[in-house]
Structure formats: C-alpha cells, structure tokens
Structure 1
Amino acid sequence: MAEQKIVVEDNRTAAVGDVDGSLKKSARKNKFAFACGILASMNSILLGYDVGVMSGANDYIKKDLQVSDVQIEILAGIINFYSLIGSALAGRTSDWVGRRYTIVIAGGVFFAGALFMGFAMNYAFIMFGRFVAGIGMGYALMIAPVYTAEVAPASARGFLTSFPEVFINSGVLLGYVSNYGFSKLPLHLGWRFMLGVGVIPSAVLAVGVLAMPESPRWLVLQGRLGDAKRVLHKTADTKEEAEQRLADIKEAAGIPLDCDEDTVQVPKKKSSGSGVWRELLLHPMPAVRHVLIAAVGIHFFQQASGIDTVVLYSPRIFEKAGITSSDKKLLATVAVGFSKTICILVSTFYLDRLGRRPILLASVAGMIASLVTLASALAVVNSHPDEKLMWAIILCIAMVLTFVGSFSMGLGPIAWVYSSEIFPLRLRAQGSGICVAVNRAMSGLCSMTFLSLYKAITISGSFFLFVSIAAISWVFFYTLLPETRGRTLEEMEVLFGSYHRWRSVAKKLKDNEITSATGGDGNNNGEVRLAVTRQTEKAEA
C-alpha cells in the first residue's frame, strides 16, 4: 500500500497549512480597503452600461441608420474583441506605471469612446467609437480584480473582489434605465444620448481613483518597501496581518525578510517579461497548468453559457415570447437589470462565509433549470404563432429573471474572484489578462452570432444549446476547481497541480500533513511548489 506525503518546498519556516492567526480572526472590516475596492471596481460599470444600453439602442440604431440584423449583431459584439487589445496592453501597462494609473487610463479611454459614439453620424463612426471604448473596457476588466485582490485584507478578499461583478450588474441596470428614459426622444437623438451618457461614470472614475493608494505588491516589486508598508497598514485588518503580508510579498519578490530599508533594488529577473509568458504558457509547472486551466475554464463557461446574449438581446427574446409593445419590452429589461443587481448581493455577502464552490455549483444548477424551462416555453410559443399565450409570456419573463439572477449569485462574480486569487504573484497580471481575453472573446462570439443562430436553429434551439454548455460547465467546476476560501494569495497554489485529485490535497492540508522543506535558495518567485514523494511499504511475506 502506498502512502502519499505532500511536501511544500519553500524558504519559509512556517507550515503552509498554518494560515496566520490574525487572518483567521473575525477582524474589523477595513473601511479604507472597502473604499478602495469600490473605486477600483467601478471600472466594471463601463462594461455593464455598454451591454445594457446596447440592448435597447440596437433597435433604434437599426431604424435610424437603416442597417441589417447582421450589422447590428456585429456592432453589439465587436466591442468585446476590441477590448482584447486593451486587456493585452493592460498587463504590461499595470506592471510599468502601476495598477492605479492603469485604472485612470481605462476611464480616460472609455470617456473618449463614449463621446465618439454619442456624436456618431453613421455606422462607421459608431464602429470607431466602439473601438476606442473597447480598448478602455479591456483595461478596466483586467485591472479592477487584480488591484482589489492585492489591496483587500484576507478576511474580506472574496467580498471585495466580487465587487467588479456588482458594478457590471449596476451598469447593466443603468443602461436599461437609460434606454427607457431616452426612448421618448426623437429617433435620431434617443440612441445617441443612450450611448453618450457613458462619459459620466468614466469621468467620475478617472478623477476618483486618484484618491486611492497604489497596490502594495506593485510597490514592493518596484523596491518601494516604505510606501508598501504604509499602504498595508491602512488596508490590513490588523498590524500583524500587515506585517505578515509584507513578509510574504517581500519573499515572493526575492527581497530578504530582514530588509527594513524604505527603498531597495529588486533584481530585474523578477519583473514581468518573456520569462513569465514562457512559464505561464510554454513550460508551465503542473500546478501552474492546473491554475491556468481552472481560470481560463471558468471564464470560458461564464460567457459560453449565454449570459451576455440574454442581457444584450432580452428585448428580442421578449418579442419572440409575444410582447410587441416597445415600452413593455424596455420595462421588462429594466426588471432584468434589477434581478441581476439584487441577486449579486447573495454572492457578495456569503462568498467568504460559504465558500466559492457551493455557491458556484448551486448557481450553475439554477441556470440550467431556468434555461431548460425558457427554451421549452419558447418552443411552445413558436409552435403557436397565431396565438398569444399569456402564461408562456409570463413564464419566459420569469425564467429570464431567474437565469440572470442565478448567474449573478454565483458564476458571474466568482469567475472574477477565483481567477484573481489563484495565480501566483509574478504571473498574476498576465494570467488575469489571459482570463479577460477569453471572457471577452467568448462574449463577442456569442453576441455577434446570436441573431443569426436563432434564425438558423430557432430561438428555443439556441437556448437548448446553452443548456448543454451549462451542464458541461457544472461537471468541469465540480471536478477541477478546488475550494480556495481561507487561503492566502501566496499559498493558493498548494491546492493546484493534482487536477481532479485536489480533494486529497485539501484533506491533507486540513489535517496539517504539509511540512515545510526549506532549501538553500528557496523559491523566491511567489509560487508554492509541490513535491510528492511516495513511500512504498513492503508487503509482509
């Protein structure tokens, strides 16, 4: 019989399984860290507003500019591919100028894009405005969860890093309300006001972020230990936690733990560069490969399940269900926005209490059930084209609300929380950039093909397709995603590398069967490596 012992190779003397006591205490929630998390997360309101406002503006743009459905779905979804440029640049930019000024760049670029869209005179001009806004969106989506995870105390990391999704939902609701409010204006003005109002949140964000401190991890990587210590003492729950977090970051950056100088020289080999991409994509260690699969997978399935198509094309869905009045369709979309915004509070307040996995799996199960019911109801409506089935209309609206609510309770925010906390420090910016790229690419693909898809296989067939994808995602999450609640950021990787056998690793962590093996050189790159040794007991003769 083989006995498996897990050894952590690290240059710390404390066991990885022993989380600092100060992080276990129910410490006071730090108001300053809370404010920083809110301001950083406001980046995400830009994405939410664009998705929400385009759901209503699409019909008015189509009528005013006399364009086709194909042009509309391209216009609606292309911004997600444009955002890939921003997310590709954001990782390097955030390592160069810092997390805080990257947020300023995101707000400024989106501000310019909203102006271009608001003053657009033709289809090409709108497309250019969406190109500019998309770059700003890519910056925003990448940097918000990274900054929040690096500032948040461990006791509230899940709570604060779920805020980007809170603001995405708030932005969707604002977009829906904007649609309804400006729909009374003349045709040529209504959609321009809908799109142009996006300058307001981006301007507020770009100015407000200047009151935020820089990320302590970025400061340490720049050798500014004194500044990092001051930020940590402001954002940590306790002084002990601040000192422990500083020690973890110093070690990850290759700085001696006994170094107390305010400024130090950090070796260039520890900065981001081609070596990071090689380690992340070309020659990843098993633990890093597992992290990458989990992070990319959760973002892929978040969008492949059809959430953005439902939010973006909800007026079309309600029209197919039997609602013909424009006012009633827009009012129904406002209800969708309220459902998304209210249900996100479940995840926000219970993520650190119940853990990531239970909420995630329950969320996806709710999405599957609502999609099956919605697809079935739409199939019935489609088979009775000459009848107005009131029960089917009510059921379709209820299932759309249930679907977006289930998404907002789990898969929506947890995708961002999970991916931001599992990457090692030196891989985090680039890893988050990859996740944003996958997320936006899938959103763009679904958004740019939904109208054509439902014309080809019917709208009910489209939703049955989303059902199958959501079911596959549930199996993926159950099998490969370990629970990360209560683990410090620098110790997260100890749970990864065993793929579907992660439960045995977690059990050994819980039973304190992890020991620290200190080497002469240590690891020094923010990763916790796993070495598995097997002792084979000889069977008695």
Structure 2
Amino acid sequence: MNVMAKAEKKISSAFIYFFGSFGGILFGYDIGVMTGALPFLQADWHLENAASLVGWITSAVMFGAIFGGALAGQLSDKFGRRKMILMSAIVFMVFSVLSGVSPDMGEASAYYLIIVRMLLGLAVGAASALVPAYMSEMAPAKARGRLSGLNQTMIVSGMLLSYVVDFLLKDLPGEWAWRLMLGLAAVPALILFLGVLRLPESPRFLLRKGDEAQARKVLSYIRKNPAEIDQELASIKETAKEERQANQKTSWSTLFSGKYRYLVIAGVGVAAFQQFQGANAIFYYIPLIVQKATGQAASSNLMWPIVQGVILVVGSLVYMWIADKFNRRTLLMVGGAVMGLSFILPVVINWMMPNMNPMTIVVFLCIYVAFYSFTWAPLTWVLVGEIFPLAIRGRASGLASSFNWIGSWLVGLIFPIMTASMPQEAVFAIFGIICILGVIFVKTCVPETRGHTLEEIEEQGTNHGRVKANNPEN
C-alpha cells in the first residue's frame, strides 16, 4: 500500500492535466481523418454520385456519439470518470482497426463501414462528455477556463494530426491510403489508455462516494496550498450533504426540474448551437468545398485541411491566453456574430458581384474557422464541464454531448445532399442565420460562469434561476 502511495505521489499536475485532456485527440483525429480519406474512399468504392451514402459514412461516427455521450455520462456517475475514459480508449482502438480493414464486398462494404463507424462513435461521444467533466473537476476555479481549454487544444491538435497524416499518405494507392488513414487512429487511443492508467479519479467523484482521504490526496497533487484544499473539500462536502439531506434520486426528468432547468437548458443549448452553426461541414468536406468552388479534384486539395487545422490550433492557444481575461458570454457573442457574417457576406457579395472569385467563399470560411477556434469551439466544452450541478453533472454532460453530436451528425449527413441541390453560398447562409440565433440564445439564456467555483455556479443557478451577466465578481 505504501509503495502505491509513493508511486501516486510522483504524479505531477502537468501529467494529470495533459492526459486528462488527451481524450480530445481521439475526438479530433476522427473528426479530421475522414476529410482526407473520403476522396480516396469515394474513388475506390465508386461513390462519387452517392451523396446520401457518402453523408452516412461521414456522419456515422457522430450518430454513434449521440448515444456514447449519454451512456458514458450515466456510467461515469456510477463507476467514475477515469474508468470510463479507459473503456472509451479500448473501444476506439478496436473499431479504428476494424474501419481500416473494411472488406471489399461491393455496396455491402459501405454498410459495414457505416456500422463500424457508428460503434466507434460510442467512444468518441464518451470522450466528448467525460473529458470536460474530468478537467473541470480537477482544475481550480481561477484557472478552470484555461485548463479546460486544453481539451479544445487536444481536439484541434488531433484534427491537425489527422490532416497531416492524410496529406502524407495521399500518394499511396487509393485503397491503401484511406485504410491507413482510418486505422492509424488506434495509435493515439493506445497512448491515451497507457496514460490514463496512472491518472487519479476526480476528487468530487471520490467525495461523492465517501472516500474523503483519497479525494484529499488527489487534491494535494493539483493544489499547492493546504488551506485551499481544506476549503475546497469543505465546499464539495457541503454540496454533497445538501444532496443527501434532500434524498435526491436523479433521473432524466430530474434534469428539467425547477431546481436545475435553467442551467441544463443553458448548457445543452450551447452544445447544440455549436454544431448546428455548421463548423463540421467545413472540417469534414473542405476538399469537396474547394473542388466545387474551383473545379480542382478533391484529392489534390488536401493542403486546405492543414490550413484549417493550423488556424484551429493557433486559435485554441489564443483562447488559453484570453480564457480567464474575458467573460464567457462576451466571447461567445462576439465569435458568433463574426461567424454568422462570414457565412452571410459571400451571398451578399455574390449577389452584388456575380463574377466573384470562387475562392472568396474559402477566404471567408477561414475567417469563420479563426473566430470559431477561440470562442465557440473551446467555450462550449468549458461551459458543459462547469455549468451543471454535481448531482446531475455526469448525466447532464452526457445529454449536452448527445445534443452536440445530433447537430454534428445532421450537418455531416445533409451537407453533401444540400450542396448537391443548391449553391454552396446558400447553404452557408443558412448556417450563418443559425450563428446569429446562437448569439441571441447566449444573450438571453446563458449565465456568466467565469471566476465562480462549481459550487457557486450551482447555487446561483438553482437559487436564483439566472446569473447576472458581465460581472464575474458576483
């Protein structure tokens, strides 16, 4: 036992935060990898004119993630965040390999790949729910925005990694190219599994299960001040005591009871808007978007995903720099407004200048990606991780993740169908309107959480029904 304790004490806070957020790599890699694999897969399986089938292959992971997020949220409340992240890594490894070895059986191959990618989506959805919850429960309130933002940095780094892998493999024979692109996703999953083996469980989960000694030990890894540890333990214990006194039994209906409704609607709403704003249409289909705009073959446009990936990584680093300097709501509203204009302005310019350079839309998409990268992309997961009360955090985070993936799935599924039946500019204009609606939602329905402890957020949300915006000192 003493040997284990000594081993545990060697775990640094940097190691905990790095591997606590590393699940985002899996999330990001699978978002990005199909971008490069799809042109080769289409050619290999002769799917160039099968828009609906292409949409299903691309969006199958998101469909599975809808259920993976909800399921992992429930199970993490029972078994812990750490164990569920380990399970997600195993599932991801298995189905990544099975994707890469898809049999060539004619049309049946497409259905096989769709099913395998749906099962892979269970792990992707689980990671999207578990990582923000784990990071928010490990991070101190004053640095929670920045440290939780590590999740977004990991996601976009995973995307950039997949784009680079796609580019490096593009000169292989078509069949080998897409198979290796999909199968290599098992490598970061293995790294995650090995890293998480040494991670401690969340102190809030440990206290909820009555293990105060272990919770104190974990906090000692990541808090330098003993007084801070005592204060945080007392705060968490008080919240848990109130829940026990109320003898509360959570269920799905509990999420929308009067006590929690306001915070649940805010968190789930932001998660849903993030995807319905159309970001993943760019990330999944940018080579095809450029092909439609310029007439160049999609397989020759694999540098554009790398450009988008670099913008995303730089934006995530910018976010980590400004995360705890600006209110969450302010960043979301400014980002959403610019994103909406980036989608709408090409339509206006094309209407005024019918001979507009077709690459203009790609330039505006880069502006969209830049603002998305340091506003809605990271802040969605920061809010999902910090806005839900402890009693419902796992279940509510899972619900938010599921709504996020419903949006991602629908966007991935219908985008190729929409662009086959209407101009690309019109499709993006629809997403632009949704961005503006997202700004209105944040303005009217989302509380400010910057600078508050998780317990303060719960108290404000449940006792007052709303938090005064633009005043992080409240």
The two structures have a TM-score, normalised by structure 1, of 0.80
Question: 1:429-481 CA deviation, whole Å, 9 max, x = no partner?
Answer: 11100100000001101110011112233211101101111111111112222
Give the Cα–Cα distance (whole angstroms) in 1 for the partners of residues 78 and 199 of structure 2. 18
Give the Cα–Cα distance (whole angstroms) in 1 for the partners of residues 437 and 35 of structure 2. 28
Within-5 A mapping of 1:90-489: 90-121=72-103, 122-254=109-241, 269=247, 275-281=250-256, 283-285=257-259, 288-326=260-298, 328-376=300-348, 391-393=357-359, 395-489=360-454
Give the Cα–Cα distance (whole angstroms) in 1 for the partners of residues 470 and 39 of structure 2. 53
Gaps of 5+ in 1: 1-30, 257-265, 511-541
Q: Which has the larger radius of gyration?
A: 1
What's the counterpart of residue 514 of structure 1?
none
Within-5 A mapping of 1:500-515: 502-503=467-468, 510=474
1:65 correspondence with 2:45: yes
Query: Which of 50, 56, 66 is equivalent to 2:36?
Result: 56
In the TM superposition, residue 360 of structure 1 has moved relative to its aligned partner by: 1.6
In the TM superposition, residue 374 of structure 1 has moved relative to its aligned partner by: 3.8
Count of aligned positions:
457
One-letter amino acid of the structure 2 residue matched with residue 412 of structure 1: A
Give the Cα–Cα distance (whole angstroms) in 2 for the partners of residues 378 and 220 of structure 1. 59
Give the Cα–Cα distance (whole angstroms) in 1 for the partners of residues 113 and 237 of structure 2. 47
One-letter amino acid of the structure 2 residue matched with residue 246 of structure 1: L
Give the Cα–Cα distance (whole angstroms) in 2 for the partners of residues 505 and 374 of structure 1. 32
What's the counterpart of residue 517 of structure 1?
none
Give the Cα–Cα distance (whole angstroms) in 2 for the partners of residues 120 and 378 of structure 1. 43
In terms of mean alpha carbon deviation, does 346-355 or 246-255 score higher?
A: 246-255
One-letter amino acid of the structure 1 residue matched with residue 168 of structure 2: G
Q: Is the 8 A contact 2:275 2:404 kept in 1?
A: yes
Q: Is the 8 A contact 2:448 2:467 kept in 1?
A: no
Question: 1:297-338 CA deviation, whole Å, 9 max, x = no partner?
Answer: 111110011001111111111112215044651111210111
One-letter amino acid of the structure 2 residue matched with residue 279 of structure 1: T
The 1:498/1:477 distance shift into structure 2, 3 A limit, reads farther
Q: Is the 8 A contact 1:479 1:500 kept in 2?
A: no
Q: Is the 8 A contact 2:77 2:395 kept in 1?
A: no
The 1:486/1:501 distance shift into structure 2, 3 A limit, reads closer
Question: 1:140-166 CA deviation, whole Å, 9 max, x = no partner?
Answer: 111000011111112211111112211
Question: 1:71-119 CA deviation, whole Å, 9 max, x = no partner?
Answer: 0111111211111222222123212221111111111100011000011
Question: Alignment partner of 1:284: what SS?
Answer: coil
One-letter amino acid of the structure 2 residue matched with residue 105 of structure 1: M
Give the Cα–Cα distance (whole angstroms) in 1 for the partners of residues 465 and 221 of structure 2. 39
1:47 correspondence with 2:27: yes
Question: 1:232-252 CA deviation, whole Å, 9 max, x = no partner?
Answer: 121124211111111111122
Give the Cα–Cα distance (whole angstroms) in 1 for the partners of residues 88 and 156 of structure 2. 19
Give the Cα–Cα distance (whole angstroms) in 1 for the partners of residues 426 and 284 of structure 2. 18
In terms of mean alpha carbon deviation, does 243-252 or 450-459 score higher?
A: 450-459
Question: Alignment partner of 1:185: what SS?
Answer: coil
In the TM superposition, residue 224 of structure 1 has moved relative to its aligned partner by: 0.9
Q: Is the 8 A contact 1:112 1:132 kept in 2?
A: no
Give the Cα–Cα distance (whole angstroms) in 2 for the partners of residues 315 and 38 of structure 1. 32
Q: Is the 8 A contact 1:377 1:396 kept in 2?
A: no
Give the Cα–Cα distance (whole angstroms) in 2 for the partners of residues 106 and 420 of structure 1. 18
Give the Cα–Cα distance (whole angstroms) in 2 for the partners of residues 54 and 429 of structure 1. 29
- How large is the RMSD of aligned CA atoms in angstroms? 2.5
Q: Is the 8 A contact 1:169 1:340 kept in 2?
A: yes
In the TM superposition, residue 37 of structure 1 has moved relative to its aligned partner by: 2.3
Give the Cα–Cα distance (whole angstroms) in 2 for the partners of residues 358 and 443 of structure 1. 24
Give the Cα–Cα distance (whole angstroms) in 2 for the partners of residues 403 and 34 of structure 1. 32
Question: Alignment partner of 2:63: what SS?
Answer: helix
Question: 1:265-293 CA deviation, whole Å, 9 max, x = no partner?
Answer: x89956xx5x3433213x332xx211011
> Percent identity among equivalent residues?
30
Q: Is the 8 A contact 1:49 1:172 kept in 2?
A: yes
Give the Cα–Cα distance (whole angstroms) in 2 for the partners of residues 327 and 505 of structure 1. 47
Q: Is the 8 A contact 1:356 1:414 kept in 2?
A: yes
In the TM superposition, residue 404 of structure 1 has moved relative to its aligned partner by: 1.0
Q: Is the 8 A contact 1:49 1:174 kept in 2?
A: yes
In the TM superposition, residue 120 of structure 1 has moved relative to its aligned partner by: 0.6
In the TM superposition, residue 486 of structure 1 has moved relative to its aligned partner by: 1.0
Q: Is the 8 A contact 1:216 1:228 kept in 2?
A: yes
Give the Cα–Cα distance (whole angstroms) in 1 for the partners of residues 16 and 74 of structure 2. 22
Gaps of 5+ in 2: 1-10, 104-108
Give the Cα–Cα distance (whole angstroms) in 2 for the partners of residues 57 and 313 of structure 1. 11
The two structures have a TM-score, normalised by structure 2, of 0.90
Give the Cα–Cα distance (whole angstroms) in 1 for the partners of residues 349 and 117 of structure 2. 35
One-letter amino acid of the structure 2 residue matched with residue 106 of structure 1: S
Question: Alignment partner of 1:487: what SS?
Answer: coil
The 1:475/1:234 distance shift into structure 2, 3 A limit, reads same
* Higher helix proportion (structure 1 or 2): 2
Query: Which of 46, 62, 70 is equivalent to 1:80?
Result: 62
The 1:32/1:276 distance shift into structure 2, 3 A limit, reads farther
